[in-house]
Amino acid sequence: MGKALGLGKAVGPPKIITRSMKTKNGGIIDRGIPDAKNPRRPHQIPPLPDHPHRPRHPPPPRRHPPRAPLPDPSTKSTALQKLTYLSSLHPPIDPSFASFHAIELLPSSPPFKRPSYLFISLTFPSSHDLLLLLPNQLRKDLSSPNHPNASLALQFLASRASSDLARDLTPEIFTLLNSSKPILRRKATSALVGVFTACPDSVRVCFKRLVENLDSSDDAGVLSAAVGVFCELSRTDPASYLPLVPEFYRVFVDAKRNNWVLIKILKIFARLCPIEPRLARRVVEPVCDLMRRTMAKSVLLECIRTVFSSLADYEHAVELAVEKNKELLGCDEDANLRYLGLHALSLLGSERYPAAVMECKETIIKSLSDADPNIRRESLRLVMGMVSEGNLVEISRILVGYASKSDPDFCNEIFGSILSVCARNFYELVVDFDWYVSLLGEIARNVNCRHGEEVERQLVDIGMRVEDSRMELVSVARELLMDPALLGNPLLDRVLSAAAWVSGEYVRFSRNPFELVEALLQPRTDFLPPLVRAVYVQSTFKVLVFCLRSYLLQSERESSGESDLEVGDGELNLVGKKREKRKEIFTYESMKYLLDLVETAFGPLLECSDVEILERTRNVLGLVRVVREIQGQNVENEEGFKEGLKMCEIVEFIDAAFSEELGPVSGSAQERVIVPDGLVLRKDLSILDTILPNEDLSLSESFSLRSNKFKEVGWVSQPQTQNNDEPELPSESTSLLVEHRRRHGLYYLPTECENSVPNDYPPANEPLSLLPGSVDATENDLARLAEQSLVSKKPKQVKPRPVVVKLDGDEVSVSAEKLKKDSRETLLSGVVQDVLLGEERKPESSRKKSSDKSSRRRVKDVLKDGETISELQEHVSDGQRQRSRRHKHRTHKEGSSHRSLSKDDDPHSKHKSGERANCPANLNVQSPVIQDFLL
């Protein structure tokens, strides 16, 4: 107790000294350090030391510092400034610990106020807890007589307002919107963007003054700010601002010199014209005029863009804009103008104005080799926009030429756009698939190419969809496989995997299958990742089976004479020309060599740790052993070998399995599988949702595993029984399944995964061979689907375009994703419409009254209004009905207040309103409102 008292005594004096010094000296020598000569004289102010910042003696050590002395505003402010500097320029510093100190400093005098405002506006998010402490201070500052203070508060509100803050301070902002100081009016107007977004209800209070500021003639800045606000607001929901079109138009006509205002108004017009065709008709001439006479490049650019994007229906305007755009494109010394010119041109789109883009073709092609990456990219986009069936080959040739000359990044951009344009809508532009396939090969061989996956996808996809291209495809694949240099490049693994698959699947189109086997077995394949290697092994298997079968057929034919040829293997007939050559290839020696080669190459793979490779290798080696050993003794001579092969039906079986066509898989294939009775797919998954609301279940893998299992079972056991069993399987064990589902729901397919079965060919999980009878229900379905939806050829081509197989489900898979609008935005536009329509409804005389009233009323009332939005909207629609009855009367009245608009249009008004009566259905709700102003 006593100690505590003593402590209090010891601490007291310096504190008093501090206080007294502060009051007298404004806190400059606040160290809490007594003069060394007169240690403690609480009631007397010590004389100032010679060097107030460096006391001659160190301060006596304090033994029990109860708490750190409160620093004065100056010290605090300096510290805060340091922290602001550090946190803003070395961002990983978290400055939030000082938040409270910053707020403490807000009420102090201007030199300290500014740093603390700077601190909070740089570091506070609009969800900061301490924002609750601000409203009173901000209110004081907003209504302070000197404008820098009010500016600071507005500045903070403009960028960091929370909805509460914005709501609480709306009345102050409303007052400032009418301030006598233009600079405050300007800032208050600009701040409205942030305030409206944070608190849509403030629109009801401030909107009228915002619109009035569009009229302000005394300060150009206020007008500019107001237009800027509307430009910002109209970005999210332009339709709400249609009723203000007359105002915008007047500003546009009046603002002859102010380029900033012109640009913003043009931006607003560009957004409004597509929704309101009558506005487009009105502004097209003024915009053209402006384009002709303006000296400012920025305004010119904005005009060109407005015409290209929103006034493209008016040919003369487009012609003029293209003409002016050429001037921009011709500026050799200014890369900015060339870039922006090209960018604007891409807005026009070559579909609607191919001639306009073609006119600039020279410039565009030249720009492909520009030093500026922006310009190159834009010109590439334009070039790709020009592509058509007729010029695809030509353009691709030019582009690939440019690609080989340019840097890796741009080279890949070129390849990427070629690939995407050609693959668009199932290769609709590609006529000559032989050419395209060899182009794919060329792209893949480019050293810089990073589009391996896309090339892989397309090689396989074309193989499955376009039957006529397979011959060329195999020869391209062969070249890719044979080149040992490609094997070391990890970027090309995917391409090689596709090439290997293609060469295995379509080996019957190959000129020399032995070459393929050699390529597939070359030693450098060790560099490949296991998944690709597995594809290689499987392809070898297919080629091997094909060779054995061909050899067998050939020897059969030889023994039974030439007449048999036509009845022989259909596939061989397809490539009849090669028959002669091939006959020489499949000899006993070559077969023996082949078997030896496979055996030597695959021997080491039996030690492989990757199960996929191991399993497939075993299959191949198993086949080799069967061929060699089943007939044991007489395999060593040619006749014996032949006999053995004939006896051994396995080769025929496997070959038959491989010759089953693999079609493309529709994106919606899974949906078509009939759910067996008693299989509950949805019920348990809803339970799952509650347990694991956000768990991402990637189950496509488990799906393919399951289907593989079914297939393998079908292959090993008797196919017939399996087929019969399958549909019954679930119904027999429904209860078990349901039980299992309940326990291990996690491992089951979620319902929403159903339609997302990938369309790609999965290389590693390639199903093992299927006997024709054992195709399960899914496969049958798919095969039928593929047959059903063949697309007819395009007739006019000289060389007929080959058939590209499409599945009717493919288009469906592109789900139209609805853009979810931010609820706050919709709220905002709702309120804006509300205010605008409500405002229009009121007669002119009552406007003033209501604005006065609203200035007095507090936000509480506003909120009450906000609760009845829906009611209000009902009123609005009622009001519109009434209004249309009063139509004539109003036209007259508005005409007088908007002279600039209506002066030359009176004769048309009847005609226009007649037009409206004819087509009221497709007009917007607001359309009747502008009707009056515009005409």
Partner 1 sequence: MIRAVIVMNTQGQPRLTKFYEYQTPEKQHEIIRQVFEVLRNRAENVSNFIQADAICGPDTQLVYKHLATLYFVFAFDSSENELAMLDLIQVFVETLDKCFKNVCELDIVFNFNKMHTVLDEIIFGGQVLETSSEEVMKVVEEIAKLEKSSSAISLVPKYISRR
Q: Which of residues 123-162 bind partner 1 (CB under 8 A)?
A: 124-126, 146, 148, 151, 154-155, 157-160
The residue (of 241 and 501) whose beta carbon lies closer to partner 1 is 241
Least Cβ distance, residue 369 to partner 1 (angstroms): 14
Distance CA 434, CA 647 (A): 40
Token pair for residue 694? 């956000």
Applying the rule CB under 8 A, the residues between 55 and 74 that interact with partner 1 are 74
String of DSSP letters for 37-51: SS---TTSPPPPPSS
Among 6, 8, 12, 26, binds partner 1 (CB under 8 A): 26
**Whole-number Å distance between alpha carbons of 253 and 242:** 17
Given the rule CB under 8 A, which of 26-34, 133-141, 164-172, 893-901 is the region that contacts partner 1?
Answer: 26-34
Q: Of 664-723, which residues contact partner 1 (CB under 8 A)?
A: none
Please work out, in degrees rounded to the nearest 5, the angle formed at the alpha carbon of residue 11 by the alpha carbons of 7 and 14.
Answer: 165
Q: If binding means CB under 8 A, how many residues of this protein chain bind partner 1? A: 74
Taking the least distance from each CB to partner 1, the nearer of 199 and 547 is 199
Candidates 187-195, 445-453, 774-782, 914-922: pick the segment binding partner 1 (CB under 8 A).
Answer: 187-195
Least distance between partner 1 and beta carbon 36 (Å): 20
User: Cβ of residue 89: shortest distance to partner 1, in angstroms?
Assistant: 5
CB of residue 301 vs partner 1: minimum separation in angstroms?
6
* Minimum CB–partner distance for residue 504 and partner 1 (Å): 40
| Position 25 contacts partner 1 (CB under 8 A) | yes
Amino acid in position 520: L
By CB under 8 A, the residues from 554 to 573 that bind partner 1 are none
User: Which C-beta is closer to partner 1: that of 375 or that of 548?
Assistant: 375
Task: Give least dist CB 164 to partner 1, A.
Answer: 16
Task: Output 194 or 664, the one with its CB closest to partner 1.
Answer: 194
Report how far residue 925's alpha carbon sits from residue 935's, in angstroms, rounded to the nearest whole number.
18
Work out the number of other CB atoms within 10 angstroms of the CB of residue 442.
Answer: 16
* CB nearer partner 1, residue 297 or residue 618: 297
Let me know if 532 is exposed, middle or buried by CB neighbors in 10 A (0-12, 13-18, 19+): buried
Per CB under 8 A, contacts with partner 1 among 899-918 are none
Instruction: Kindly identify the residues of this chain, within the stretch 214-273, that bind partner 1 according to CB under 8 A.
Output: 221, 224-225, 228-229, 231-232, 235, 259-260, 263-264, 267
Shortest distance, position 265 Cβ to partner 1, whole Å: 12
Q: Among 33, 83, 193, 421, indicate the residue that binds partner 1 (CB under 8 A).
A: 193
Q: Which residues in 651-670 contact partner 1 (CB under 8 A)?
A: none
Out of 116, 190, 475, 666, point to the residue binding partner 1 (CB under 8 A): 190
Q: Which 33-52 positions form the footprint of partner 1 (CB under 8 A)? A: 48, 51-52
Residue with tokens 């007052």: 175
Query: Least separation, in Å, of the C-beta of 146 and partner 1?
Result: 6
Nearer to partner 1, 48 or 606 (CB): 48
Q: Which residues of 285-298 are buried (b: 16+ CB within 10 A; e: fewer)?
A: eebbebbeebeebe
Among 15, 181, 297, 912, binds partner 1 (CB under 8 A): 297
CB of 346 to partner 1, least distance (A): 12
In contact, 173 and 142? CB cutoff 8 Å:
yes
Nearer to partner 1, 160 or 457 (CB): 160
Which position has the token pair 């393998």?
Answer: 712
Please give the residues from 346 up to 385 whose contact with partner 1 meets the rule CB under 8 A: 371-375
Q: Considering the complex, state which of residue 149 and residue 554 has its C-beta at the smaller distance from partner 1.
A: 149
Element (H, E) at 307: helix 297-310
Q: How far is the CB of 311 from partner 1 (least distance, A)?
A: 17
Q: SS3 letters for 85-140?
A: HHHHHCCCCCHHHHHHHHHHHCCCCHHHHHHHHHHHHHHCCCCCHHHHHCHHHHHH
Binding partner 1 (rule: CB under 8 A), the pick from 340, 422, 487, 623 is 340
- Say whether 295 sits in a helix, a strand or coil: coil
- Please compute, for residue 36, the number of CA atoms within 13 A of its CA located in the half-sphere on the CB side: 12
Question: How crowded is residue 589: how many other Cβ atoms within 10 Å of its Cβ?
Answer: 8
Instruction: Name the nearest CA neighbour of 385 among 405, 364, 415, 370.
Output: 364
Distance between CA atoms of 697 and 562, rounded to whole angstroms? 60
Name which of 560, 556, 558, 538 is nearest 548 in CA terms: 556
Q: How far apart are CA 75 and CA 27, in angstroms?
A: 9
Minimum separation from the CB atom of position 684 to partner 1 (A): 39
Q: How far is the CB of 766 from partner 1 (least distance, A)?
A: 36
342: how many CB neighbours lie within 10 A of its CB? 26
* Closer by beta carbon to partner 1, 260 or else 546: 260
- The length of the chain is 935
Q: What are phi and psi of 697, to 5 degrees?
A: -95, 110
Backbone angles phi, psi at 805, to 5 degrees: -75, 125
For residue 922, what are its two tokens? 């497709």
- Which residue, 85 or 747, has its beta carbon nearer to partner 1? 85
Q: Which residues contact 591 (CB under 8 A, 6 or more apart)?
A: 547, 548, 551, 641
CA distance 806 to 787: 10
Q: How far is the CB of 101 from partner 1 (least distance, A)?
A: 17
Task: Give Cα 445 to chain centroid, integer Å.
Answer: 29
- Identify whether the C-beta of residue 477 lies closer than 8 Å to the C-beta of residue 459: yes
What number of other Cβ atoms are within 10 A of residue 843's Cβ? Answer: 9
Task: Work out how close the CB of 913 gets to partner 1 at its nearest, in angstroms, rounded to a whole number.
Answer: 34
Closest contact distance (angstroms) between CB of 839 and partner 1 is 24
Closer residue to partner 1 (CB): 260 or 433: 260
Among 330-338, 632-640, 766-774, 874-882, which window interacts with partner 1 (CB under 8 A)? 330-338
Minimum CB separation of residue 352 from partner 1 in Å reads 21
Kindly identify the residues of this chain, within the stretch 74-133, that bind partner 1 according to CB under 8 A.
74, 81, 84-85, 87-89, 91-95, 109-111, 114-115, 118, 122, 124-126
Span 524-553, contacts to partner 1 by CB under 8 A: none
Work out whether the CA dihedral 344, 346, 350, 354 comes out positive or negative: positive
Selection from 43, 11, 12, 49 nearest residue 30 by Cα: 49
Shortest Å, Cβ 87 to partner 1: 7
Cβ-based nearer residue to partner 1, 339 or 546: 339
Nearer to partner 1 (CB atom), residue 225 or residue 242: 225
Nearer to partner 1, 186 or 465 (CB): 186
From the number of C-beta atoms within 10 Å of its C-beta (0-12, 13-18, 19+), residue 210 rates as buried
Shortest Å, Cβ 871 to partner 1: 34
Give every CB contact of residue 642 below 8 A, 6+ residues apart in sequence: 552, 555, 588
49 or 286: CB nearest partner 1: 49
Cα 504 to the chain's mean position, in Å?
37
Nearer of residues 306 and 510 to partner 1, judged by Cβ: 306
Q: How far is it, in rounded angstroms, from Cα 166 to Cα 184?
A: 17
Measuring CA to CA, which residue among 310, 367, 312 is closest to residue 340?
367
Annotate each residue in 721-760 with x if it binds partner 1 (CB under 8 A) or - if it does not, as one string.
----------------------------------------
Q: Which is nearer to partner 1, 222 or 496 (CB)?
A: 222
Residue among 267 and 616 whose Cβ is closer to partner 1:
267
Tell me the C-alpha distance between 540 and 513, whole Å: 10
